[in-house]
């Protein structure tokens, strides 16, 4: 889709900017203490929601929860078995007509653009885009093959750029949409044997902030929402074998529920568990040497020593949906 550049927002007087800063600061403090159950939530009935990595884990759970709220869900995943499992879950819940599945390797830029065009023709414009797909290598930097580093950055980071470029122009045209970035606390904290993963998640955090600024620049930040999600490690198998010394891994259903609630209440940032807000605040104020004993206390140096992760899956790409009304085949 061809994007027509939007007008730049006018510059406010300096005094007004200071007033707005403190107003939003106060608003944020108040909202921090308001439970999700008391917040107004938008209706997703009939909305087209695209989720990458929806064939397993929290992607699959989010797909099911959003469909139960009336959304039409488009799932992209490289794992054919995972897509089949998602279809079975939807069929068991009598929601198969709300699901469209496509098998794709989102590490390939042109494939993303081609499939995005196919989805627009078969399903329609996307209302909510959830960039969820991700991989982890789990090796020390010097033991990580270059191709694994590149693959991590393609899947975890670059795919976000291409997905947004594929679907944001239509959102701008309609002055409506929501882009969700599933990052991690690894986008603010550092650890061992995860250099490529940390780098990709730090990039996710920066990308979300830059995207928010560009939407504000064209005066669409109130129309097109962005949400960045930063969970602790989740018990989905992605970090199988890793051990946490002080904090248990999060349960997938709880994380998926919180993300769906956060999307519906249009939260700009979701941190799980919530007290990591304070860790982030502390880390930017203490001397860098303080990070070593703190990391040791939390078991950061041994967390990934027994890491196994998930088994490798096929990189063949083909697409299908529940109605079998279109295909796209790439090498």
pLDDT at 151: 96
SS3 70: coil
What domains appear along the chain, each with residue ranges and CATH number? Answer: 42-312 (3.40.50.720)
Integer Cα distance of 148 and 154 in angstroms: 10
Tokens of 263: 């999307």
pLDDT at 318: 43
Task: Report yes or no: 269 and 225 within 8 Å, Cβ to Cβ.
Answer: no
Q: Give residues with Cβ within 8 angstroms of 216, minimum separation 6.
A: 9
pLDDT at 331: 28
Integer Cα distance of 283 and 288 in angstroms: 8
Nearest to 234 by CA among 252, 210, 213, 257: 252
The DSSP 8-state label assigned to residue 234 in this structure reads: B
The DSSP 8-state label assigned to residue 44 in this structure reads: -
Nearest to 269 by CA among 220, 205, 313, 317: 205
Residues designated catalytic: 197
Cα 38–44–49 angle (5° rounding)? Answer: 125
Tokens of 179: 């882009």
Integer Cα distance of 251 and 126 in angstroms: 28
Nearest to 113 by CA among 328, 331, 278, 326: 328
Residue 2, Cβ density class (10 Å: 0-12 exposed, 13-18 middle, ≥19 buried): exposed
pLDDT at 244: 83
At which residue do the structure tokens 């790439």 appear? Answer: 330
- Tens-digit pLDDT string for the chain (331 aa): 445 567 787 888 888 888 888 888 888 888 877 777 778 899 999 999 999 999 999 999 999 999 999 999 999 999 999 999 999 999 999 999 999 999 999 999 999 999 999 999 999 999 999 999 999 999 999 999 999 999 999 999 999 999 999 999 999 999 999 999 999 999 998 889 999 999 999 999 999 999 999 999 999 999 999 999 999 999 988 888 888 887 889 999 999 999 999 999 999 999 999 888 888 888 888 888 888 888 888 888 888 888 888 754 443 344 444 443 333 433 2
For the entire predicted model, the pTM comes to 0.89
């Amino acid at each position: 889709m061809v994007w027509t550049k939007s007008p730049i927002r006018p510059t406010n007087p300096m005094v007004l900017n200071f007033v707005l800063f403190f107003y939003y600061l106060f608003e944020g403090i108040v909202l921090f203490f308001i439970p999700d159950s008391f917040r107004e939530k938008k209706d997703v009935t009939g909305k087209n929601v695209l989720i990458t990595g929806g064939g397993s884990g929290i992607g699959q759970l989010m797909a099911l929860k959003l469909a139960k709220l009336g959304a039409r869900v488009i799932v992209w995943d490289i794992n054919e078995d995972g897509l089949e499992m998602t279809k079975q879950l939807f069929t068991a819940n009598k929601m198969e007509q709300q699901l469209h599945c496509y098998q794709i390797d989102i590490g390939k830029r042109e494939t993303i653009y081609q499939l995005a065009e196919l989805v627009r023709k078969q399903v329609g414009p996307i209302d909510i885009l959830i960039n969820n797909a991700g991989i982890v290598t789990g090796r020390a930097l010097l033991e990580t093959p270059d191709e694994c580093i590149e693959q991590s950055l393609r899947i975890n980071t670059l795919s976000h750029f291409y997905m947004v470029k594929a679907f944001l122009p239509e959102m701008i045209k309609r002055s409506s949409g929501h882009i969700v970035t599933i990052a991690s606390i690894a986008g603010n904290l550092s650890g061992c044997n995860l250099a490529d993963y940390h780098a990709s998640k730090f990039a996710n955090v920066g990308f979300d902030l830059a995207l928010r600024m560009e939407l504000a620049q064209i005066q669409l930040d109130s129309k097109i929402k962005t949400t960045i999600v930063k969970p602790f490690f989740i018990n989905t198998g992605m970090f199988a074998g890793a051990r946490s010394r002080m904090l248990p891994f999060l349960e997938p259903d709880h994380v998926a529920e919180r993300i769906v609630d956060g999307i519906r209440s249009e939260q700009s940032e979701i941190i799980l568990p919530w007290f990591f807000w304070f860790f982030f605040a502390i880390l930017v104020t203490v001397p860098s040497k303080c990070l070593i004993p703190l990391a040791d206390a939390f078991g950061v140096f041994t967390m990934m020593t027994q890491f196994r992760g998930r088994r490798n899956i096929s990189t063949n790409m083909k697409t299908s949906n529940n109605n079998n009304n279109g295909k796209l085949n790439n090498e």
